[in-house]
Amino acid sequence: MHTVVVGTAGVTAADVVAVARRGARIELSEEAVAALAAARGIVDALAAKPDPVYGVSTGFGALASRHISPELRAQLQRNIVRSHAAGMGPRVEREVVRALMFLRLKTVCSGHTGVRPEVAQTMADVLNAGITPVVHEYGSLGCSGDLAPLSHCALTLLGEGDAEGPDGVVRPAGELLAEHGIAPVELREKEGLALLNGTDGMLGMLVMALDDLDNLYKAADVTAALTMEALLGTDKVLAPELHAIRPHPGQAASAANMAAVLTGSGLTGHHQDDAPRVQDAYSVRCAPQVAGAGRDTMTHARLVAERELAAAVDNPVVLPDGRVESNGNFHGAPVAYVLDFLAIAAADLGSITERRTDRLLDKNRSHGLPPFLADDAGVDSGLMIAQYTQAALVSEMKRLAVPASADSIPSSAMQEDHVSMGWSAARKLRTAVDNLARIVAVELYAATRGIELREGLEAAPASRAVIAAVRQAGVEGPGPDRFLAPDLAAADAFVRSGALVTAVETVTGPLA
């Protein structure tokens, strides 16, 4: 099994995906253990002094003015975990919780939190054992970090609350720790606070969304190219010299992908002989511009994610010169903004994709294809309601594109009076990404059927490879009406798994 070694300098997006989605094991580097011990020494020295230090010998948030005596500090740290584990609603996905815990461990290992090495090792042990704390949908405002979600994770380290075992069964966390030989931690000064104060949930969901969107943007380039073929459109608009004079990198990449798919096509360009059609509709002609803008948005989001993956987010933080300073680095605005940006871009990609599908089904705009791509229109409805489903998904994506990050709400007796709502932005982006995969799948279903209905004209080699692969995956071709839901589900799985992109790349080589 792949092993991820956590040091002091942060982790990569690939590390997050490996731990969250593939169950990679975690080890702490010697450097990280040394940094943990050094920072802990600073905290212990401050804890022994009579002067109050926020997070070490005081209360939290609006209660930060109270000095806590030494005999109450362990109780203080335990209490903050218990009281902050106040989430409600349905459970969030296992991969999100694993990313959340792993990224908190990443910050703990930076040597800026003051957490003891044994606490960090317990976090790694819980992840390696496949124990997943029960975390709920609601409870984070994305400022002071993802407080409630992280608190539920910390509660598991204490042997309290509920968690899911490697068998998928939810049980008391104490029982699961005991079965795996993991001793519950007993928190000391600052440790409870350090386990809760981070942007880890929203960051983990950002990293996984980018992983999914990388596949989906390539898939959308492929289905746009297939639709261009099915509509007998022109691929001249994909010429690199046209995109060079408007030098957006994402646009050029999308155009190059479409051009690669269409190489050798016998269907493109026939509208030159169709006098009323001088040029293709925007949804076809401007496909690289729209998908390309989304790709460039992803590039910016990756930059933000990389910076956050290298960051140590806590409050207060332990500095190398021995100071323990309060700060605002836990504010989720940088991550929240790009989560919202991605939801907007995904909604627009879904919208243009649906417009191409609708064009394929409309006999007045499909340039010779049968109404709704039906076998016997009137007797058969063809893909009429598949487009309804796609339209419903697009409509929801437009609602999900409303930014969460513009909706601050004050908390903690007005001490925390401006929050990022980054967790909420991440949760709605996950839904948007799921919807986008389904929308692309419907276009794939329609476009492949449209190509197969163009008798006497041969599709591009890459298109033929897609059609062969998707038919082998259980998505049926043209014919009389049948139960459509299984076909659409199979198309969705084909897109989501990366099989669509793989089928094309067997012919074209790697797509951009």
* 2 membership: H or E segment, kind and range: none
**Cα distance between residue 399 and residue 54, in whole Å:** 41
Q: How far apart are CA 487 and CA 491, in angstroms?
A: 6
DSSP assignment, residue 380?
A: B
264 CB contacts (<8 Å, ≥6 apart)? 460, 461
Return all residues near 456 (Cβ < 8 A) that are at least 6 apart.
Answer: none
Is residue 195 within 8 A of residue 154, CB to CB? The reply is yes
Decide if 138 is catalytic: no
Ranges assigned E (strand) in 119-277: 132-133, 136-138, 162-164, 170-172
Rounded CA-CA distance 80/219 in Å is: 46
Biggest alpha carbon–alpha carbon distance for the chain? 88
DSSP 185: P
Which residues lie across from 460 on neighbouring strands? none
- Do 51 and 28 contact (CB within 8 A), yes or no? no
Whether 373 and 478 have beta carbons less than 8 Å apart is answered as yes
Q: Tell me, what amino acid is at 370?
A: P
Give the Å distances, CA to CA, from 236 to 86, 233, 243, 444: 58, 9, 11, 22
The residues with which 352 forms a beta bridge, in sequence order, are none
CA distance 442 to 152: 39
Separation of alpha carbons 47 and 237, rounded Å: 68
Strands (E), 281-366: 317-318, 324-325
How many other CB atoms are found less than 10 A from the CB of residue 315? 22
* Sequence-distant contacts of 241-249: CB under 8 A, at least 24 apart: 243/288, 248/289, 248/292, 248/293, 248/296, 249/292, 249/295, 249/296, 249/299
Judge contact between 133 and 101, C-beta under 8 A.
yes
Euclidean distance between CA atoms 158 and 185, whole angstroms: 5
Helix (H) or strand (E) holding 10: none
Alpha-carbon span 216 to 214, nearest angstrom = 6
CB 406 within 8 A of CB 125: no
Per annotation, catalytic residue among 54, 282, 337, 445 = 54
Which two three-digit tokens encode residue 136?
């709920």
Q: Is residue 490 a contact partner of residue 483, using CB atoms and an 8 Å limit?
A: no
Cα–Cα distance measured from residue 256 to residue 316, given in angstroms and rounded to the nearest whole number: 48
Q: Could you give the residue numbers annotated as active site?
A: 54
